[in-house]
Amino acid sequence: MAVLGDSLFYDLLITVVLVLVSLYYYFTAKFDYWKDRGVAFVKPIPVFGNLKDQLLRTKTLGQVYSDIYGNLKGNRFGGFFELREPVLMVLDPNLVETVLIKDFRHFYNRPVLMDPKNDPLTANLFNLEGTVWKNLRNKLTPTFTTGKLKTMTEQIFNSADKLIEHIADESKQDKNVDSKSVTSSFTLEVIASVAFGLQIDKNSEVGKNFRELVEGLLKPSITQTFKILLILYASRLANLLKIKQFPKRLQDAIVFIVRDSLDYRKKNNVKRNDFIQQLLNVRQQELEGNLKLNLEHEEDDLIDQMKYVPKEEEAETSEDKIFMTDMHITAQALTFLLAGLETVSSTINFALFTLAENPDVQAKLHEEIDHVMKNHKNTWSYQAVKEMVYLEEILQESMRMYPQIPGIFRICTEDYQIPDSDVVIKKGTRVIIPVGAIMNDPNNYDSPEVFDPSRFQDNFFKPNGKFLPFGDGPRVCIAMRFVILEMKVCLAKIMAEFEVKTSDKMKTPLVFEGASFGPTPVGGFWFQFEKRK
């Protein structure tokens, strides 16, 4: 029996050793990928690659990319590893523009995370690729033109007025205001109105239900975190297991809200100046075979760079065409919600923080707002906000210092020789442009740690290889001009009424929560809003 026991023990030991060796080989088999190609790279570790701090939630993804960027400094590009997979990082601003614009045909797609056939609510511009993406992008671009934005301005102003009341009420109870809470209410109300056609009040049943739904979508949990990591770094497995982005009950709730809005409009012949109405107009134009893809103003070129998209050599199939079904409308509305809630609220708060920390800048902004409003007889309008150019410079500088996206993600769609090098990037290779690292590099901006809005004088949010808060090229954020308008209205309304100071409750210098996707200060945003005299 002792001999048999020893035999089983050694068999088990050998099995464990073989499993461990196999796992080690699996996770390290590609670790010579960049070395074999003569590309500078950051040495990875088994299992994690170069993402240990992000996966263990000790640093944000943007901070991890900045660390990798620092290790690759002096190179135009370099390599690192997401778990076991090799990834190319682009550091040089000129090469960034080449990848995003000039040679877009080689970097047409983002890494596909979810299969829309498995999860229809992921059939959005971020997740689609190829001709399907191009067709949907062409149809959606006119919904964000200057003319369309003007029709939505009143809704943003109304929400901003409620925000001012909210801040005043909070300030009466406690001079230290949780700014993230009040600005999140503002962005939620704007999105509810513009994207879902809902007029929500904080005390109404509709408002309560919608807020609970959004909290469910955004609420962090161990299960949701695991799903997101699986989708990000093992998307094939996630799709094979038919994992969906959100629980079925939340998806069903979103679908119900949109369909209820669509049914109400149809039965009562109601038309609103909102995003859903623009999508319904696209649907009607599709049915009539009279789809209008023309832009209205020169400034609309900022969101339309489709001239860089290569013409398709193969004929389109029926699957390539997007018909604006109820589900497609719901998918776009959901994307609008997820992309425009926390990121916009955080950007507004970082702008408030920089203003509170720089009283001279704040005073100059007060002067601009007062001057513009006097010229417009104290009547708020799209044109009045447009004329607040210093406010726009402040926003750009704030977004440079505290970008909400960690990076721009692409997939190499055709073998590509990097200009002025012998390195060939193989089809299927992931490519990352580290936005925050580039925009805070002393080689790109003198004294990047200093808040200086004058850097962006006469820039008007035009992207380039050194300034990428909304991306660049054909896949630039389609809603960027709407988001800019929303943030400008919010900040203009606040600064017209208040002087903003940093509260003692806000922890400075800023330290960011490692578990968050974007930069989130530990302890949150706390300000004192003092009524202007």
Binding residue positions? 477
* Rounded-to-integer distance, Cα 111 and Cα 202, Å: 38
- Do 307 and 119 meet the contact criterion of CB atoms below 8 Å apart? no
* Type of residue at 469: P
Q: Which of 464, 524, 515, 467 is nearest to 64 (CA)?
A: 515
* Rounded-to-integer distance, Cα 41 and Cα 25, Å: 20
Q: Which DSSP state fits 31?
A: T
Radius of gyration of the chain (CA): 25
Other CB atoms within a 10 A radius of the CB of residue 7 amount to 10
Torsion angle defined by CA atoms of residues 332, 334, 336 and 341, in that order, rounded to the nearest 10 degrees: 180
- The length of the chain is 533
CA 357 to chain centre: 26
The enclosing H or E element of 397 equals: helix 389-401
In 243-389, beta strands by DSSP E: none
Other CB atoms within a 10 A radius of the CB of residue 84 amount to 18
Buried b (16+ CB within 10 A) or exposed e, 9-23: eeeeeeeeeeeeeee
In sequence order, the 6+-apart residues with CB closer than 8 A to the CB of 452 are 397
The enclosing H or E element of 77 equals: strand 77-82
* Rounded-to-integer distance, Cα 75 and Cα 69, Å: 9
* Rounded-to-integer distance, Cα 530 and Cα 533, Å: 9
- Do 80 and 119 meet the contact criterion of CB atoms below 8 Å apart? no
Contacts 24+ apart (CB under 8 A), 116-119: 116/331, 118/239, 118/242, 118/244, 119/244, 119/245
The encoded tokens of residue 101 equal: 């614009």
Q: Return binding residues for heme.
A: 477
Half-sphere exposure of 60 (CA within 13 A, CB side): 22
Q: Is 330 exposed, middle or buried (0-12, 13-18, 19+ CB in 10 A)?
A: buried
Which ranges of 305-341 does DSSP label H, i.e. alpha helix?
326-340
Furthest-apart CA atoms within the chain: distance in Å: 99
